[in-house]
Amino acid sequence: MIEFLQLLLAHILVDFYWQPTKWVIEKREKSFRSKYFYLHITLVIVVSYVVLGYWTNPVPAIALGAAHGIIDIMKIALDKKGTLIWFVADQAAHVISIALTALIITSALPAGVEVFKTWLFTTKTLAIFTGALVSLSPISFFVGILTKPWREELARLAPNADDNLANAGRWIGMSERLLIFVFVLVSQFSAIGFLIAAKSLLRYNDKSASSEISAAYISKKSEYVLVGTLMSYTCAIAVALVVKTLY
C-alpha cells in the first residue's frame, strides 16, 4: 500500500501541480511531437524514482513513465474537445497503472488480485455499486418522465425563456442523489436536511420577477423545482434503504 500511495503522490504532483498550462496546450496540439511531452514523461520518471526510493532499481519508475506516456498519447488522440469522460478515463488509467506497478514491485500482484475479487464479489459491495448507479441516471429518467407535464406547461408560459444551463439540472440532481445515498448508508440523516436547506437558499432569488419573465412563470418554476427535488430525494432515500437491507 505504501508504494501505491508514494507513486500516486508523484502522479498528482507531476500531472496537476508541476505541469504548466503551456505544456498541456502544446501536447494537445502536437502530441508526441511536442518537446513538452518528453519533459513531462521525464518528470514522471524522476519524481516517481525519488518518491519511491528504490535507488538500486529504476525500472519501476521508467516503466511507469512509459505507461504514462502511452496513456497521454491515447487521450490526446481520442479526446479532441477536452471532455469530462475522457479526463476521468485518463486519470483512471493512470491510477490503474500505478496500482499494477505497486503490486508488481512488492510481488503482491496475485494476492492483490484475489483480495480485489474477494472484496468486489460480495453482497455488500455489489449492492452498494448497483444502488449508486440506480441513484444516478435511472432515477433521472424516472423523475424526468414524472415531471414532463410541468416542463411542458412552463414551456408554454415562457417559450423563449433561457434560464437554465444545459444539462445543469440533471447533473445537480445526480450529485444530490449520490450524496443522499451515501448519507443514508452511513446513517447521517441530518445531513440531508442541510442539503435541502442549501438548495432552498440557492433557489431564493428565483422568486424575483423580471420584465422578461412573468411572475406566474417564476412561481410555477419554483414549484416545479421543488416537486422534482422531493421526488428525486425520495427515490434516492428509498434505494439506499433497500441497499441497507441487503447486507
Instruction: Kindly report, residue by residue over 55-92, the tens digit of the pLDDT.
Output: 888 999 999 999 999 999 999 988 877 788 889 899 99
What is the tens place of the pLDDT at every residue in 201-214?
655 455 544 556 66
Distance in angstroms (rounded) separating the CA atoms of residues 140 and 238: 14
Sorted by where each begins, the domain ranges of the chain are 2-118, 123-245
CA distance linking residue 242 with residue 130, whole number of Å: 11
CA pair distance 209, 215, nearest whole angstrom: 5
What is 193-208 written as a DSSP string? HHHHHHHHHHTGGGGS
Sign (positive/negative) of CA torsion 29, 34, 39, 40?
positive
**84: Cα separation from own chain's centroid:** 8
- For the ranges 19-23, 196-200, 216-220, the maximum mean pLDDT occurs at 19-23
Task: Look up the pTM and report it.
Answer: 0.63
Can you list the pairs that 60-63 forms with residues at least 24 positions away whose Cβ atoms lie under 8 Å?
60/101, 60/104, 60/105, 63/101
Residue position matching grid coordinates 524514482 = 49
Task: Look at phi and psi of residue 31 and say left if phi exceeds 0, alpha if psi is from -120 to 50, else beta.
Answer: left
- Position 118 scores a pLDDT of 77
Which residue has better confidence, 219 or 50? 50
163 pLDDT higher than 70: no
Rounded CA gap, 202 and 198, in Å? 6
